[in-house]
Amino acid sequence: MAIYLNYLDRELGRSVGFQLTPSLLRSVTNTILLCSFEPLYCGLSLVWEQPAVHSVWNYVTELIRSDQLELTTAYSSGADFLAAKRTEYAHDRRRYPRYFRSDAERRLAVPPRFQHVPSRTTPALVEALNEWAEAMEVSDLTNMGIDPRHVAGIVKSTLAQRSGEAVTLSFFRPVLEKARADPRSYSLVGSAISRAYTRHYQELMSGRSPTGIRGLSFYDSVGNSFPYLDHAVLTTLMDVLELPRMADEDLLKVLSARGSKEHLLFIDQIRRLLLISVDAYGEMARRRVRLIENFSVVKRHLKKRRRTGSWREAFNEGADRLADLFKHDHYRQRVNERQLEFALEPTLDNLCSFFERSRFSGGATVLIVVATEVEEEAVLSRIGSYHTEFLGSSTYYRGEFAGHNTAVTRCEPGSVGRDAATLAVDEAIRAVQPRVVLMVGIAFGANRRKQSIGDVLVSRSVYSYEPQRISKDEKVPRGEEVQSGPVIYKRFRDLRRGWDADDAEVHFGTILSGEKLVDNPEFRAELLEMRPEAIGGEMEGAGLCAAAANHKVEWILVKAICDWGDGTKDKKYQKMAAEHAVSFVEHVLRKPGVLDALTKTAS
C-alpha cells in the first residue's frame, strides 16, 4: 500500500480549473508526512510538468533522496523517457516546453533515481477512454444540455486516428472545437482522462490518494482513502492536538522521525480515533463536516499538552494523549460499538476497506437489479440523470426513480456463479441497505392462450426448479417455493389499476427460476409439469430471494414476456418487454407513501 500524490497532476487540476501553488503543495505533503507512514509516489512526468514543483525543487528533491517519494516511469532510462515525451507532445510543445529545452537531459539527471514500472500509461488511457465513451453512448446528460453520443463519437474517432500523440485534453480540443461541441464537454473529457490516469497509477502500486484538498473536491471520490488522508480533516486534527507546524528547517527532522516507533504509534492512535468518530454512511462532504465538528469535543477531553523538544517526543506525547482520550466513557462506548474493526491493524488498506465493504454514498431506498444490457438500458432511461459509484467489484448507477432514491446494479445471467444473482444481490444489499429489492427485466411466458408478448409477470412466489433427485427411473423435484415480500407484493397487486402500456396485462403468480436459458418445448413442458400454475420463467429469481432472505429485506420480481421458451426465441421483443416491466414498476412506486411500511435494511 502506498500514497499516490494525484494533486501534483497538472492536467487533473486543469480539468477543474485548479492550479497548485507551492505553499499548498508543501502544506498537503507535510500533512501526509506527519499523518501517515506509507511511502509516497507519483509519475516522473508529474514532477517534470508541474510548475509548483520547480518552485520548491529542493524540498521535492529531499523527499526523493530520503526515499520518502518514489518517482515511477515505464521507461528504462531518463533518455528514453525524454525521447518518448518529445514524440508524444510534438503537437503541443507550447504547453510542455520543458521536454524541448536544450538542457532537458542535464536537468532530468536531478533527482537521479526513479522506479521502473512495466505498464505504460498511454495504452491504459486509450483503453479506459474507449470504455468511457461506450458508457457515454447510453448516458443521459440532458440536464447538462450535452449530447453524450456526440461527445463519445468524437472521443472514439479521435483515438482511432491517433498516431503517437499523448492522450491529453489538448489532443482532443481541436477536434471538439471543429465539431462545435458544447464547451462543457471539454471538462467532461478532461475529467475522464484524469480519472483514468489516477486509477491507472493507483493500480500500479495499490495506491490511495489524498482527499479534502480545496479546489480538487471533484476527485475526492477516486481517492479511496477518506478520512485517513483527508487534508481538511487532518490539518484540523493537528491543530486540535497542538502538533507543531512544520517549518522549512523541520523537513529533515520529520523525515528522520517518520516511520520511527513513536511515529507509528502516533499514526495508530490517529487512525483509531478517525475510525470510531467518522460516520460510515453519507456523502463525503457531510461526513467531513460532522467529523471536524466532533473534534471540538475531542479538544475538551484531551489532556493539556506539554512542550516537547523533538518531533519524536511530539509524536510520542500525541499518542499518549489520544490513548488517554480513549479511556473516556464516550470513546470507550464507541470503541465497544466497533470492537472488531478497532482491533484491525491500522493500515490504510484495512481501515479504508472496512467502509468500502459496507458503505454506499448515503444508502438508497430502492435497489433495482438487472441481468442484461437491454434491461439495464430500460431502467436507466427512466432515471434520466444519474451518477456512477464503484464499490468492491460492482458498479452502481444512482439517481431518482419514481421519486425514490434508487441504486441500479447489474449481475450476470443466472443465480449461481461469481457474478450471478445470489452473490451480486447479497453484495448490493450490504452496500446499499435498501428498503426493497426489485429484480426487473424479461422472462418467458407460460401460456400463449392467456398471455401475450409484452405482458408483465409479477412474482407472488419464485420456484427454484434446479434442485432435483434423479434416480434411474424418475426425476423428483426438490426445489423450494419462496414467497415475495408480503408488503411489496400487496402494493404491486393493489396498485396495478391505471397502468396502460400497449394493452399489455399484468399477471401475478409463481415464476420458475433456474440456470437454464429455456428455448426447448420439451424441457419447458417438464418445467410446467412441476408447477402447472406457473406464469413464466427466468434465471435470476432464485438468487434474488436467497440473498434477500439472508438480509431480511423485502423483494419482488417484475419481468415482462419477451418469448415463450419453446424454440421460437427471438430477441426483437426484448427491448419492448423490458420497457413494459420498468414502466409498471414506475407506475406502482410513484404512489405516495407506497414504501412507508418498509424499514431500511439493517447494516
Query: What integer is the mean pLDDT of 402-409?
Result: 90
- Do 365 and 434 contact (CB within 8 A), yes or no? yes
Q: Is the pLDDT of residue 430 over 70?
A: yes
Task: Give the mean pLDDT of the chain.
Answer: 85
Percent of the chain with pLDDT over 90: 37
At residue 386, the pLDDT reads 81
Give the model confidence (pLDDT) of 2-13 as tens digits: 899 999 999 999
CATH superfamily of 366-589: Nucleoside phosphorylase domain (3.40.50.1580)
Measured between alpha carbons, how far is 221 from 241 in angstroms, rounded to an integer?
28
- The C-alpha cell that represents 204 in the structure block: 500500479
Give the model confidence (pLDDT) of 361-399 as tens digits: 556 889 999 999 999 999 999 987 788 887 777 889 988
At residue 508, the pLDDT reads 96
- Do 589 and 480 contact (CB within 8 A), yes or no? no
The most distant pair of C-alpha atoms in the chain lies apart, rounded to whole Å, by: 89
For residue 211, give the DSSP letter: B
At residue 7, the pLDDT reads 96
Query: What integer is the mean pLDDT of 4-28?
Result: 94
Numbered ranges of CATH 3.40.50.1580 in the chain: 366-589
Give the model confidence (pLDDT) of 409-418 as tens digits: 999 998 887 8
According to DSSP, the residues that pair with 441 across neighbouring strands are: 559
- Identify the helix (H) or strand (E) that includes residue 4: strand 2-4
Q: Is the pLDDT of residue 222 over 60?
A: yes
Contacts for 529 with CB less than 8 Å, ≥ 6 apart? none
- Of the spans 274-278, 305-309, 438-442, 588-592, which averages the highest pLDDT? 438-442
Measured between alpha carbons, how far is 83 from 393 in angstroms, rounded to an integer?
38
Higher-confidence residue: 519 or 474?
A: 519
At residue 237, the pLDDT reads 93
Give the model confidence (pLDDT) of 509-565 as tens digits: 999 998 888 888 888 888 888 889 999 999 999 999 989 988 889 999 999 999 998
Q: Is the pLDDT of residue 354 over 80?
A: no
End-to-end Cα separation, the chain, in angstroms: 28
Stated pTM of the model: 0.61
Percent of the chain with pLDDT over 70: 89
- The C-alpha cell that represents 338 in the structure block: 466497533
- Amino acid occupying residue 210: P
- Do 513 and 441 contact (CB within 8 A), yes or no? no
At residue 225, the pLDDT reads 87
- Do 54 and 108 contact (CB within 8 A), yes or no? no
Q: Is the pLDDT of residue 495 over 50?
A: yes
Helix and strand element counts for the chain (H, E)? 25, 17
Q: Is 303 exposed, middle or buried (0-12, 13-18, 19+ CB in 10 A)?
A: exposed
For residue 50, give the DSSP letter: -
Residue with cell 522506479: 115
- The C-alpha cell that represents 487 in the structure block: 408488503
- The C-alpha cell that represents 414 in the structure block: 443466472
Half-sphere exposure of 122 (CA within 13 A, CB side): 17
In terms of DSSP H, where are the helices of 36-76? Answer: 44-49, 51-55, 57-65
From edge to edge, which strands make up the β-sheet containing 207-208? 115-116, 69-73, 40-43, 2-4, 207-208
- Do 361 and 226 contact (CB within 8 A), yes or no? no
Contacts for 346 with CB less than 8 Å, ≥ 6 apart? 267, 268, 271, 272, 275
Of 456, 462, 459, 458, nearest in space to 560 by CA: 456
Measured between alpha carbons, how far is 199 from 124 in angstroms, rounded to an integer?
10
At residue 342, the pLDDT reads 44
Give the model confidence (pLDDT) of 275-292 as tens digits: 888 876 567 888 899 899
pLDDT classification of 358: cutoffs 50, 70, 90: very low
